[in-house]
A and B are shown apart, each in its own frame.
Chain A
C-alpha cells in the first residue's frame, strides 16, 4: 500500500497540475495530496476506503517532502491516539499503536495499516477542501484559500 489519491481530487486539481511555465506550480501530485492530508489529520476524521482511487499514484515521498516524513508519521500517530481515545498515560496502548502504524522497511516508514489510514485522512481532507473552495485555476489562489481554510478550521475536541 502506497500513497493513494482521493477520488475526485484529480479533476479538482486538474487546472493547477498543468500550468504554464513561469507560474507557481505543484512539483508533483504529492503536493496536493499532502495539503489534503494535513487537513484530514488536523480534523481527526477518516474518509471511507471507497473514497480512494483504486491504484497508488506514488510509492514513496518525493524529494521535496522527504525531510518531513518523520513529522508526518508523528502527526498520524497523534491523530490516531486522539481518534481512538487512547489516554496519555496508557503507555502500553501507545506503544502497541506505534507497532501497528510503523514499519521501518517501508519507503514511507509506515506500515500497510499506517498507509491505509494516512490515505483515508487525505481523502477526508480533500472533502473538507472541496466543500470550502471551488476547483482552483491558479496555485497561488489555491494556496491563499488553503491558508484561509486553516485560519477558519476549528480544533476537533479530543475525546475524554
Chain B
C-alpha cells in the first residue's frame, strides 16, 4: 500500500495561515523542500499533519493555541493524499471556542465525492498510523538525537504493526473468545448436575482473574510512573546544575565538574566493555585457572589421551571372523567386544578432545592484564565518585549562601528520588518471578502477578475439569502458546533483520565512522571502536544512525509511506550537513523537508543539481498574510526576517511561476 502527500491547506490558523495552500502536484515530486522562517508555522504544520493522519482528538489547550485571533471561532487544516492512486482529502476542523477537533474525509470512492464524518483512511492504515507511529515518519530532526535511546520502544510497536505481527495477537484474542464461549456452553450444560459447586468454582476463578487484571494494571501504572519519575529526576538534576551555574563564581567550577563527569562516564563505559571482553576468556580470570588448564593438557599428553583406538575399531572387530591375534571370534566374544567398545571414544569425540587439548595448550591469556585493566577501571569509578562528591559540595556551597530556589529544587529532587526508589521496590515485588524473593517478602497470589497467574490457572483447571472442558482448554492454551512463540520468534528475526540492514546502510553512508548497531532492545546500542573514548556519539553520527534505522525499518514493510522531516540539518556543522545532504535523498520514495534559510548552505543546496525537486517558500508579509512561492530563485535568495530580493521576485514572475497566496 502506497501513500503520497500531494498538498495541504491551512484556514484560519495561527501564524498568518489564514488561507494558504501548498500544492505539490499529483504525482508529487520525490523531494520537496519547504522553506518557512521560524514563527511561520513549521512546528504547527508537523502537529497538524500528525493529528490529521491519526485522528488524534487534540487537547483543548493545543487547539486554542492554534487560534489566530480572539475573534476567530473556527479553523481548518486539509491534507491531500494519494493512496494507491486514489485521492483522499482529510480535514481537521478546529472549534476554537469549544476547544474541539473534528475530522472529515472526502475520497474518490464516495458517491459524488461527498464528505464522510471521521477519518476515512483504509482500515489497514487507520490501524497502522497511531500517534506514536506517526512520529516515526512525520519526524523532528531533534528527535533524531533521541531515537537511539528510545527509538526501539517505538520501533517495537512499529515492527509489530508494520510487519503485521499484530494479526497473530488477534488470533490469540480469538482463541480467548472461543475459550469463554466453550466455558459458557459447558456451564450451561452442567448446571443441572452441580450448579452450586460449579458456580463456586467459577466464582473463585473469576476472582483470581479480576485480581490478576488489577495487579497487572497496578504494575503498568507503577512502571509508567517510574519512567516519568526517572525523567523528572534527570530534569531536576539539570535544573539544579543550571541554578548553581547562575552564580558566576560557581559556574565555571560546575561546568568543569559536568564536563569531567561526562568524560569519565564515557571512559568507564569503554573500560568496562574492554574488561568484559577480557573476562570472557576463562584462562584470564585467575592464574589458578591457567595452571589447571595447562596441567590437564600435560596429563593428557602423559597418558597419550585420546587413544588412537576408537569405538569404531572395536565395532568393526566385532563384525570380523578372526581377531587381530588370529583367534576366531565367536558370539560370546562378539557380545563382549560390542559392550566394551562403548568405553572407548568415538572418532568424532577424539576430534573434540584434540580441539580441547589444542585450545588448552595454546591458551596464552595473561591474568596480569586483567588485574591491570581492573585497577584502571576501579580508579575511574573512584574518580566518578569524587566528582559526584565535588558536585554535591558545590550545591551545598550555593545552599549555604541562602538560595531558596535551589533548596526547593533539591527538596523536589530528593522527594522524587525517594518515591522512585520506593515505587521501583513495589514494582519489583509485584512482578518478581523469583521464588526466593517471593518467599522472603511473604508474597501471595493476591499480591504478586506471577503467583496470581499461577493461582488463576490452578482455579481455571479445577473449573474446567468440573465442566469437562479440560481437553479443549489444554489444546487452546497450547495453541495460544504456539502463536505467542511464533510471534516472539518472528519479532526477534525482524528486529535482527532491521539491525543488519541498519548496519549495511551505515557502512554505505558512513564508511569511515565504523558505526555499528550491536543490538536492538529497549534502545539502539552502538558499538564502535573508541566511540566512548572519543566522548560518545556526535550529532552527525546520531542523525546517520537515526536515518539508517528508519530506512531499514520501512524498507521491506508492505506500506510505502512519505517521510516528512522538520529541520533535518539545523544543528549540524557544514561538513556533517553535506554528509546528511548526500545521504538523505536516497533513503525514501517521498520526502518533504521543512527547512529555514540557514539550512541551505551545505544541506538544501545539495539538491540544486537534482531533478524532481520542488522548492516552496512561505513567509509572512504581515500578521494576516502569508506568501507562498514555488520558485527556486526565491528559495535560494530568501532570508529569514526579510522578503526575497526584488530581483528574485521579478525573476520568479519572468519564469512564469506564481504566488499562490490568498490574502484574507
Contacts and interface: CB of A to CB of B under 8 A. Distances in A.
A78 interface: yes
Nearest to B526: A21
B272 A98 contact: no
A66 B526 CA distance: 22
A109 B360 CA distance: 16
A99 B349 contact: yes
Nearest to A105: B348
Contacts of B374: 143-144, 147
Contacts of A7: 434-436
Nearest to B358: A70
Interface residues of B, number: 73
A109 B276 contact: no
Residue of B148, B293, B346, B353 with most partner-chain A CB within 10 A = B353
B25 to A, nearest CB: 41
Contacts of A103: 349
A95 B282 contact: no
Nearest to A92: B343
A8 interface: yes
Given A20-B149, A155-B288, A70 B356 contact: yes
A64 interface: yes
Contacts of B343: 92, 95-96, 99
A95 B299 contact: no
Interface residues of A, number: 54
Interface string A20-55: 111111110001001100100010000000000000
Interface in A104-160: 104-105, 109, 139-141, 143-144, 146-147, 150, 153, 155
B377 A144 contact: yes
Interface string A58-83: 00000011001011111101100100
A71 B305 contact: no
Contact of A24 (B149, B269, B306, B348): B269
B381 A99 contact: no
Contacts of B282: 38, 68, 71-72, 75
A77 B352 contact: no
A1 interface: no
B271 interface: yes
A33 to B, nearest CB: 12
A72 B289 CA distance: 11
A22 B342 CA distance: 52
Interface stretch (B54-62, B243-251, B514-522, B608-616): B514-522
Question: At the interface, is chain A mostly helix, strand, loop or mixed?
Answer: helix
Given A70-B359, A104-B352, A91 B305 contact: yes
Interface in B230-274: 265-266, 268-269, 271-273
A75 B292 contact: yes
Contacts of A81: 296
A18 B521 contact: yes
A74 B345 contact: no
Interface string B96-119: 000000000000000000000000
A15 to B, nearest CB: 10
B327 interface: no
A10 B283 contact: no
B336 interface: no
Contacts of B285: 38, 42, 150
22 contacts: A8-B437, A20-B523, A21-B525, A22-B526, A23-B269, A27-B519, A31-B280, A42-B286, A64-B277, A70-B360, A75-B282, A77-B296, A78-B296, A91-B305, A95-B307, A98-B306, A99-B342, A99-B345, A102-B345, A140-B269, A144-B374, A147-B370
Q: Which 6 A-B pairs have the closest CB atoms?
A: A24-B272, A70-B359, A140-B272, A104-B348, A11-B434, A147-B374
Interface of B: 148-149, 265-266, 268-269, 271-273, 275-277, 279-283, 285-286, 288-289, 292-293, 295-297, 299-300, 303, 305-307, 342-346, 348-349, 351-353, 355-360, 363, 370-371, 374, 377-378, 381, 428, 432-437, 518-519, 521-526, 532, 536-537
Given A24-B273, A71-B282, 19 more contacts: A7-B435, A7-B436, A21-B149, A22-B269, A22-B536, A23-B269, A23-B272, A24-B272, A26-B276, A71-B293, A71-B359, A71-B360, A74-B357, A75-B292, A78-B295, A102-B352, A104-B346, A104-B348, A140-B275
